[in-house]
Amino acid sequence: MEKIDILSLSLDELGDILAEKGEKKFRAKQIFQWLHVKRIFDFDEMTDISVQLRLRLKEIFCINRLFVQKKLESAIDNTVKYLYRLPDGNFVETVLMEYNYGHSICVSTQVGCKMGCRFCASAIAGYIRSLEPSEILMQIYETEKDAGVRVSGVVLMGIGEPLDNYDNVISFLGLLSDKNGNNLSLRHVSLSTCGIVPKIYELAELKLGLTLSVSLHSADNDRRSEIMPVNRTYNIDSLIEACRHYISKTGRRVTFEYAVIDNVNSSDEDADRLARLLRGINCHVNLIPVNKVKERNYRTARAGVAEFAKRLGRRGINATVRRTLGSDIEAACGQLRRDAAEHNGNGGAEN
């Protein structure tokens, strides 16, 4: 019988399985805290649990750890990028960033991505599978262990489309914020999506308190469809409608991500269009200089982002420019995994 991935289970689910197997349900909390508070990933080290029960636990459950395959540390700003090997030999990337208020971590939600955004390295390496809740969570636990820090913020902006792995991402968020476990408020979490409209409506119903970030990148349908194929299914009007719904349902401001790309989306006319689209919406615009991806020719002129921010400002839209971190270690998502995949010639799995 295949063992159950214990780190993907909520406290209730763990209790139910223990009861099903004839064990005492109240043990669940004790085990849950060993895993999620004390971060002990070996049943033999759970010393207040009887030897007999520990043996049973080992028969029923597995504790899936991640392994550091590669680690790059920025000499400029202490950003650390991890390439993690998953139990099945696939790879994902995680980035630890240092700010003056603490550490923030960027996690992946899938091995690769189906969305095919033209400017994104994750799309180039291809899609393999979605991550389990434990595989998203363990990127945080393993990084905290390795770096000796506690993160105070989490962004779901690594490889993958979180809303294309909806159920596992929601389970992950439950584990991340569980009061009996890791206990991180979802106020400190951002979820970034390319705009899977029906899932934005579903997410709104949950009123989780996290920040929804929407990768917009163009306010023109033809242009957006060109660079983001998802726009052919869910166009800008339907996306903005979903965002308005999300804002009114949750009372939370939405962030729009906009990578400023020369000759694609950074003209005066583009600024006009964006300002018109977002006028009156409780939102924030985050401008990103596009990260160079070697297979593509997209670039941002040095002065391009600041200039575009000014153009938006003159049109009454406040925009901030995202700080570039880890520029010396290719911290942009998808680049390490793509290189590992190229090296192995098989899309990321070891064999």
* Binding region for ligand SAH (CB under 6 A): 117, 119-120, 157, 161, 192-194, 215, 257, 259, 288, 290-291, 293, 332-333
Strand partners, 81: 72, 95
Nearest approach, Cβ of 165 to ligand SAH (angstroms)? 10
Amino acid, single-letter form, for residue 292: K
| Helix ranges (DSSP H) in the chain | 11-20, 27-36, 51-60, 121-124, 133-147, 166-177, 197-206, 221-227, 236-250, 268-278, 304-314, 335-344
Q: Identify the burial level of 165 via C-beta atoms within 10 angstroms of its C-beta, where 0-12 means exposed, 13-18 middle and 19 or more buried.
A: buried
Give dist(CA 235, CA 220) in Å, integer: 9
Rounded to a whole number, what is the distance in angstroms from the first to the last CA of the chain? Answer: 24
Give dist(CA 214, CA 196) in Å, integer: 10
- Give the list of residues 6+ apart from residue 327 with CB closer than 8 angstroms, or none: 74, 76
- Complex with ligand SAH: residue 119 or 172, whichever CB lies closer: 119
Whether the CB-CB separation of 169 and 136 falls below 8 Å is answered with yes
Nearest approach, Cβ of 120 to ligand SAH (angstroms)? 4
- Complex with ligand SAH: residue 11 or 329, whichever CB lies closer: 329
- Complex with ligand SAH: residue 135 or 161, whichever CB lies closer: 161
Nearest approach, Cβ of 157 to ligand SAH (angstroms)? 4
From the candidates 93, 132, 135, 161, give the one annotated as an active-site residue.
93
Nearest approach, Cβ of 290 to ligand SAH (angstroms)? 4
**Active-site annotation holds for 333:** yes
- Complex with ligand SAH: residue 290 or 341, whichever CB lies closer: 290
- Complex with ligand SAH: residue 285 or 290, whichever CB lies closer: 290
DSSP summary character for residue 329 = G
- Complex with ligand SAH: residue 15 or 162, whichever CB lies closer: 162
Closest by CA to 49, choosing from 71, 24, 19, is 24
**The tokens 């009996």 sit on which residue?**
180
Give dist(CA 78, CA 214) in Å, integer: 27
From the candidates 142, 333, 342, 350, give the one annotated as an active-site residue.
333
Nearest approach, Cβ of 229 to ligand SAH (angstroms)? 12
Closest by CA to 70, choosing from 95, 87, 52, is 95
- Complex with ligand SAH: residue 139 or 291, whichever CB lies closer: 291
Nearest approach, Cβ of 213 to ligand SAH (angstroms)? 6
Closest by CA to 135, choosing from 104, 101, 158, is 158
- Give the list of residues 6+ apart from residue 47 with CB closer than 8 angstroms, or none: none
Nearest approach, Cβ of 130 to ligand SAH (angstroms)? 12
**Active-site annotation holds for 93:** yes
Residues annotated as part of the active site = 93, 333
